[in-house]
Amino acid sequence: MTPTPRPAATQRSNDTRHNRAGLARHYTAVRERSRALAAPLSPEDCQAQSMPDASPVKWHLAHVTWFFETFVLERFEPGFKPFDPAFRVLFNSYYQGVGDRFSRPQRGLLTRPDLATVWQWREQVDARIARLIEHTHSEEALRLIDLGLHHEQQHQELLLTDVKHLLSINPLRPAYRRHWPLVPVVAVDPRWIEQAGGLVEVGHAGEGFAFDNELPRHRQWLEPYSLMNRLVTNGEWWAFVQDGGYTDPRWWLAAGWDWVCAQNLRAPMYWTLPTETGAMPSVFTLHGEVGLDPHTPVAHISHFEADAFAHWASATHREWAGARLPTEAEWEAAAAPLVVQGNLQESHALHPLPARAAGEGLMQVYGDVWEWTSSSYAAYPGYRPAEGAVGEYNGKFMVNQYVLRGGSCATPTSHLRASYRNFFPTDARWQFSGLRLAR
């Protein structure tokens, strides 16, 4: 679970994918992974949209295919002819440069095409992309295919979190997959790990793939700081709940307090609080409803909740005095030397797992839950969005969102980097989002 320093020799080289055979293999693997994630679901499960922020599984499967057809095949395939011209509008997410798009909150109403047709579309596009990889003379086409695969990996994570939200609404409490991954562990005590700070460099370095928002690499000045060795746990969060954390405005930002009151919240998403004193909450997971495990990292909290917890922790526990969220630069500076490994999508746990007492350093840096930072999502100095419609990928969301780092149990390993920036509004909590304290 504990990432260890990464020798330069083992560094995964993304650019080998621009080697055609490697890219073709990676393409097949990522696309197959999407199919595997959808396998446990019925056509009905793939149709429904449980909230405007979420999308139907069928829409995810179609949209990532739309990306390849619209941004790659349309420009680079000789004699391009779309599978169905209407899909260009139906499955555009938000790219204004592409033209019209279908209303986002109504995606669950697109019962045509049906799921079977979407699978046919995917197969046809896969064959055409395979031919393109083999024959194209365009480096840009290959780069855009690589971008499309990272795009599809993002949607794999969303597919899982969206379907979790959908299933949670059903009073039958159905499981996505019953395979409960938890085993008994020895609790790991929280401990501060000191970091030197100073003039550090952040942002993507090297030749591998990176999104435009990770560039350019640049300098930042950091005062010395500490990070907690592991993530905040359910048990620690339950103490916060029992101490009246959700009903005491002292711990909350003003906007957070308004949000908690308006939504009448008392716990993280997916928790069901016990009706009897002394009992523990239960929690909805992709494996169905289970009892809350105190050593597991807390998940499905908003930025508001993460910030409130830090204020509470700082004020009520002497050993946590000064606790706060880390900045994204603090997180990245500490994570940069570590190998990307942990409880990621490939572990098939589909749930965060407790830290295990296996070392002195930072644990759970990659995987388990995305870690909220105090950094608002903004352009790095000198940032330039990509050319064309794909330039709308990242830059236009750089306001009123906050950065999360480190990936989760739903993130594919090959998708992550130390410089990877995820971002969500301060009230979002249907992602696998948690926190690590800093001070």
Q: Which of 282, 316, 376, 413 binds a copy of itself (CB under 8 A)?
A: 376
| 59 Ramachandran zone, left/alpha/beta (phi>0; psi -120 to 50) | alpha
231: closest CA among 359, 412, 352, 374? 352
**Tokens standing for residue 156:** 């794999």
- Which 316-335 residues touch a copy of itself, going by CB under 8 A? 324
Using CB under 8 A as the binding rule, whether residue 306 contacts a copy of itself is answered as no
Using CB under 8 A as the binding rule, whether residue 108 contacts a copy of itself is answered as yes
User: Closer CB to a copy of itself, residue 376 or residue 413?
Assistant: 376
Enclosing H/E stretch for 165: helix 139-169
Using CB under 8 A as the binding rule, whether residue 85 contacts a copy of itself is answered as no
Stretch that binds a copy of itself, among 2-10, 16-24, 61-69, 375-383 (CB under 8 A): 375-383
Q: Which of 139, 223, 360, 387 binds a copy of itself (CB under 8 A)?
A: 223
Question: To the nearest whole angstrom, how small is the minimum distance from the Cβ of residue 109 to a copy of itself?
Answer: 5
Stretch that binds a copy of itself, among 167-175, 228-236, 292-300, 358-366 (CB under 8 A): 167-175
Residues 115-136: b if buried by 16+ CB within 10 A, e if exposed: beebbebbeebbebbeebbeeb
Tally the C-alpha atoms within 13 A of residue 85's C-alpha that lie toward its C-beta: 2
Q: Which of 44, 189, 276, 387 binds a copy of itself (CB under 8 A)?
A: 44
C-alpha dihedral over 388, 394, 398, 403, to 10 degrees? -170
* Interface with a copy of itself: number of residues (CB under 8 A): 64
123: closest CA among 26, 31, 11? 31
Question: To the nearest whole angstrom, how small is the minimum distance from the Cβ of residue 396 to a copy of itself?
Answer: 5
Q: Which of 45, 162, 212, 236 binds a copy of itself (CB under 8 A)?
A: 45
Enclosing H/E stretch for 28: helix 20-38
Q: Are 227 and 362 within 8 A, CB to CB?
A: yes
Rounded to whole angstroms, the Cα distance separating 247 from 264 reads: 9
Residues that bind a copy of itself (CB under 8 A): 42-48, 50, 58, 86, 89-90, 94, 96-97, 102, 106, 108-115, 166-167, 169-172, 174, 199, 218-221, 223, 249-250, 252-257, 303-304, 307, 324, 374-376, 378-379, 381-382, 396-400, 402, 426
